[in-house]
Structure 1
């Protein structure tokens, strides 16, 4: 199990039906589904130790004319849709823990959990300096969040059993990039 101190927060990024379920609009499928047990284990460990668990979650409106992803991907994680709900047992875990002070869910509208959000301020207020990144997609939202975190001087940790992508080559490239260009601890 991961050793924790109070300066480490867990981020569960974009673990939604649209990104993970078989019927999801932009699904990682089996690779994403295989993360569920590891993410739950980490989330429970963080809660038990009174550490922060943060769930930055992609949110879109259908056919947004000014959003760049509209041209790149099919509609996904639409407001008030099944696709935007957290996947499987992660949704149940969140429902059971949402009222805890150390659980923070927020919607985001860009790949990085830091862009257009208050995440950096929230983390600094809680004296966090290390982020354990989990979720999907390794080579898109996890990568962009890691780059933002690096540029803001956070230490980055990646549990390889808790990140996945629909692109295996992109996934492997991102893992290498985390280690070799961002100085992340990979385990």
Structure 2
């Protein structure tokens, strides 16, 4: 069984004026990301929208020292970007579509993701979204450590750091044994 994890494809991470944007690199993957998400939904595979959510009053979160405030709870910055938003809205009530609030880079850290996947006997994870070298990477590492087979949808991941993006793609393949699709 397989699942798609769509990571942080939100206004703050993708829009030109987003708070921590990948800009053009993130915008260029929209068609591929939407197409693969639609395919997984239509095939009744499990689709997880793993979305960063930060409390602006959380003085203890380590990201506050590293990045400007982004994906703040209750703001438009946390909304899905572009055509992914209406795709999610049209399918959000389906049993195979799941919104996952996350607080850290990895979609597994402090969430029920592993339980939800194991309940469905899912062993293969396809990852899409941003940032390749941050949230996608940390999710992939945790997936690998938990024994999942990892697939990276290469045309549906992006970063604001081109060097980090390329490094992460190599790391997925050479260190985690991920399959690039």
Structure 1 length normalisation: TM-score?
Answer: 0.95
Determine the structure 1 residue equivalent to 2:78. Answer: 84
- 2:22 corresponds, among 17, 28, 35, to 28
CA distance in 2, matches of 1:143, 1:63: 27
Matched residue count: 181
CA distance in 2, matches of 1:9, 1:127: 10
- 1:112 corresponds, among 106, 110, 113, to 106
- 1:133 corresponds, among 127, 132, 146, to 127
Q: Secondary structure at the match of 1:182?
A: coil
Kindly report the root-mean-square deviation, in angstroms, between the aligned alpha carbons of the 2 structures. Answer: 0.7
Q: Displacement, 1:63?
A: 4.6
Contact persistence 1:155–1:184 (CA under 8 A): yes
CA distance in 1, matches of 2:58, 2:66: 12
Q: Displacement, 1:67?
A: 0.2
Equivalence map 1:51-130=2 (5 Å): 51-130=45-124
Q: Displacement, 1:62?
A: 1.3
1:169 aligns with 2:163: yes
Contact persistence 1:60–1:76 (CA under 8 A): yes
Determine the structure 1 residue equivalent to 2:148. Answer: 154
Runs of 5+ consecutive residues of structure 2 not aligned to the other structure? none
> Which stretch of the first structure deviates more once superposed, 71-80 or 61-70?
61-70
CA distance in 1, matches of 2:84, 2:38: 11
Structure 2 length normalisation: TM-score?
Answer: 0.98
CA distance in 2, matches of 1:64, 1:74: 13
Runs of 5+ consecutive residues of structure 1 not aligned to the other structure? 1-6
Determine the structure 2 residue equivalent to 1:16. Answer: 10
Query: Which contiguous aligned blocks of 4+ residues in structure 1 show a shift greater than 4 angstroms?
Result: none
